[in-house]
Amino acid sequence: MTQRKGIFSGSDPFAIARGWLQEATRTEPNDPNAMALATVDADGLPNVRMVLLKEIEAEAFVFYTNYQSAKGEELALNPKAAFVLHWKTLRRQIRVRGIVSREDGKDADAYFASRSVKSRLGAWASAQSRPLSGRAEMLAKVAQYAAKYGTSPPRPPYWGGFRIRPVEIEFWADGEFRLHDRFRWRRNPDATGQWKIERLNP
């Protein structure tokens, strides 16, 4: 069994991730929950963009977006993703690879309702990832939806969450002379689903 101490200790990788994110909220100037999310398109060509990690659940990571966006369509075709959270001031990263499913139920409703009215109207107005003639077109749509929904826009049917259930999580911390610490947690594919933890060369 690999010896893990300090920031790497614990038997639940989601708890470790929560702890690191909590530390990052104190050290990062903004968006400590920003992560680079990778998907692949129909040709197998990778795509990557930043999104905000909104929830670390008992067994999964959740972010929210437009299902008709490029990432939404890529995930509909191939429900697998990878992401990395990187904290410059902490000099740490967490890498995750996993299987994706939609969160378009009550959690998505609750999160959407928690957003400002302007952000909710923006979700209606933005045909995310599709061509736009100019800012005026978008602002006109915001005004149109404001007239329709007032101060309580409901969650659009094409907007919601994705839940990433990891098969692999790596915790990485900067070490002197590039001798970084890396611990990879891999889920056993058998019924037990237990994590196998290995220390990796930097």
The residues annotated as belonging to the active site are 178
Min CB(81)–ligand FMN separation in Å: 12
Considering only residues 93 through 112, tell me which ones interact with ligand FMN, judged by CB under 6 A.
none
Query: How many angstroms from the chain centroid is the CA of residue 110?
Result: 17
130 binds ligand FMN (CB under 6 A): no
**Do 122 and 145 contact (CB within 8 A), yes or no?**
no
Q: Give the residue with the Cβ less far from ligand FMN, 47 or 188.
A: 47
Give the H or E element holding residue 143. helix 135-149
- According to CB under 6 A, which one of 8, 61, 63, 162 is a site residue for ligand FMN? 63
* Binding test (CB under 6 A) with ligand FMN, winner from 40, 115, 129, 197: 129
- Is 31 near ligand FMN (CB under 6 A)? yes
* 24 near ligand FMN, judged by CB under 6 A: no
- CB under 8 Å to 187, separation ≥6 — which residues? 166, 167, 168, 193, 194, 195, 196
Q: Which of 51, 146 has the CB closer to ligand FMN?
A: 51
Q: Are 166 and 96 in contact (CB under 8 A)?
A: yes
Contact by Cβ (8 Å): 164, 156:
no
What pairing do the DSSP bridges indicate for beta strands 92-103 and 159-173? antiparallel
Q: Could you tell me which residues are annotated as the binding site for FMN?
A: 49-54, 64-65, 71, 93, 128-129, 172, 182
Q: Could you tell me which residues are annotated as the binding site for substrate?
A: 54, 111, 115, 119, 178-180
